Structure 1
Amino acid sequence: TSKNGVLQNTKIKRYTVLLEPTGKYYLSLQVEISEPEKYSLTDKQVGIDVGVADLAILSNGLKYPSFNSSYFEKKAKIWQKKYSRRRHLVKLLVLQNKNKRVLCPRSLESFANWQKAQKSKAKYQAKAANQRRDYLHKLTTHLVKQYDVIATEDLKTKNLQKNHHLAKSIANASWRMFRQMLEYKCEWYGKKLIAVDPKNTSRICSKCGYNSGAKPLEIREWTCSKCQTKHDRDINAAVNILHKGSTKLSGQGLAMVTS
């Protein structure tokens, strides 16, 4: 970008004006730009395990929390109830006018109260979505800048969301969006993203390789019965993901960088 923030060597291919449910207009641009400048290499690699309370748990012990949207969700839920109730009452009034065959029957659009509730609901939903997206952009950009090779789980989030106990938490954590951002940013900035099979990453001891079997989700720490190493469940999984990523990269004939 130039000093005044205007992109250089760009060509606008298409633009679209959008009217959001909040009543705001947005201009969406499709532009053709030159290839982005690559980030400098750091000679570091990391394995990432994704979770619900902590979105990203790194193999080096760092943890990044999931975006907390509880406030906006609570507000949106309140306005959703108001919107549903007001719209129902308005429909009844419109139906009464129709049945009474009044000369100037009112329409749904003539009642502003339910429309106000609809916009308020949409406003809080949009705030949550925008702030979550902003948080994910900052986190993924930070990770891509810090590490040359990122190993992560090849999770099928669509299948995981079939579990009704975890579906909402997984959706709020935005695992899919997190993965997509990592993918295209690694491609843009000259870094490497390795997706590995998540099977047994939480069961295997990252130190001796012993498989201690399945563990309930409430168990967050455990001790290997073979080598007696005490593990944080998520960090251990992240280390195993890094090991799998190293093996996969070696199989492709590429060397894993050292931290």
Structure 2
Amino acid sequence: MRARLLVFPIKGRNWCFIRSIDRSTSQSQSSQTPFTFKQLWQQISSSSHKPTAANVELCIDFAANKMNNAWSGLEKAPEGSFKNQIHSLGLKLLSRVRPSEIFLKSIPKQLSGVEVVYPASLNARLVRRRLRHIAMRGSIIHKNYFYGSVTLLPVTSAFAVLPLPNVPFFWILFRTYSHWRACKGSEKLLELVSDSSKRLNSPETDQEKEATENDSEKENHTTPDSPLVMQASEELQRLIGDGNEVNKCKLTEICKVFDLNTMDVLKYQQHLK
């Protein structure tokens, strides 16, 4: 399983990192996720030979699927109803989620490689370095936030005694799941991006190191089976233009051409304000 990632500057040193939409993969994953407790138990009991971590992840996916269904129900609630108000509150909370977290959550553990598309004017080593940085930083930050969210779950569960939906508990539960997914995505991305640069960590002269980097870049361009394939795009460069900032109109056009989630891309621009 491979994924295409787009990396390009939004404004100055602020870059956008996003994965192209893969509808076939999302549909296959949703079909494998159990919908009822009976199906969940059958899958766990029939796969006793699987490691415990795989069954735990199956339970997490089951819970996430239940949360998504509940969120869809709130979204379809009549205008002005209590459920609609809860949905509006949820949208306000979700708008605070950083776009880098959404990007890292989109990196599943099943990935065997990534194709990184970037503007032709950027240097491949700089793009790869920025990817390693966001992956390494994300693995540390989201692991800490994950443990912090877990400690808050017992506290927010106390609100269940109130005759109202326990919004704080479900929000913290969602944040716990989100940070866990982002942490796992960071670790997987760091593994894939670092594979092609392991030779760069060995002691060697500057000339040998530069030659190794050049050979590695050529290999990334020409070997489709490599874990990391760097692809400079003239089309992306044309859409971005030569300015220092990419406006909303250009971002929308980039989303159409490269099949991106427009809302996720625009979040990068919104977080600059």
Give the TM-score of the pair, scaled to structure 2.
0.25
Which structure has more RCO (C-alpha within 8 Å, separation ≥ 6)?
2
Larger proportion of helix? 2
Q: Which has the higher strand share?
A: 1
Q: Which has the larger Rg?
A: 1
